[in-house]
Amino acid sequence: MRKRDSSTIWIILRDILIVLGPILILFPLWLVIINSFKSLEEAGRNFYALPDGLKLEVSHVDKGLPTEFWYAEVEYETVEAAEKWDPASAGLENYLNDEVTGLPGQSMGAYWEKTRMGLE
């Protein structure tokens, strides 16, 4: 009877490996394939869900160059919502403390024009 219980356990373990094995092999491959279709701009972006349902987008711009910097933004439905939002509500007061929205020359569009298109 003991021999039969032992073989049953091995059969169950074998079946689990047969099911999980391909998943453990194919899932990383699937991630690589999906991510290979992203542009360099998309691949360099990181999105984080904030507690209030908003998304924080963080980009490392010009990584490895003397001009490199980190750029973060949160998109809002309205201007009023943007003006009312406090980074401390998401625990980000130490990171999002340099608000430059609306300042001339501080948008990413202005940065790209200046650095990539030679416009000022």
Claim to verify: residue 48 and residue 105 sit in the same structural domain: yes
Q: Are residues 26 and 64 in the same domain?
A: no
User: How many domains does the structure of the chain reveal?
Assistant: 2
87 and 45 belong to one structural domain:
yes
Q: What confidence tens digit (pLDDT) does each residue in 53-100 have?
A: 888 888 888 888 888 888 888 888 898 988 888 888 888 888 888 888
Identify whether residues 107 and 62 lie together within a single domain: yes
Residue range(s) defining the domain that contains residue 68: 40-116
**Whether the predicted pLDDT of 38 surpasses 80:** no
Whether 62 and 108 map to the same domain: the answer is: yes
Whether 23 and 46 share a structural domain: no
User: What does the pLDDT read at residue 40?
Assistant: 62
Q: Are 44 and 64 in contact (CB under 8 A)?
A: no
User: Do 62 and 94 have their domain in common?
Assistant: yes
44 and 6 within one domain = no
Q: How confident is the model at residue 18 (pLDDT cuts 50, 70, 90)?
A: very high
Between residues 100 and 2, which one has the greater pLDDT? 100
pLDDT greater than 60 at residue 119 = no
pLDDT for 15 equals 92
Do 50 and 30 belong together in one domain? no
Position 73 scores a pLDDT of 86
Specify the pLDDT at position 61: 85
26 and 63 fall within a common domain:
no
Same-domain status, 49 and 105: yes
pLDDT given for residue 44 in this prediction:
59
33 and 50 part of one domain:
no
pLDDT band of 42, cuts 50, 70, 90: low
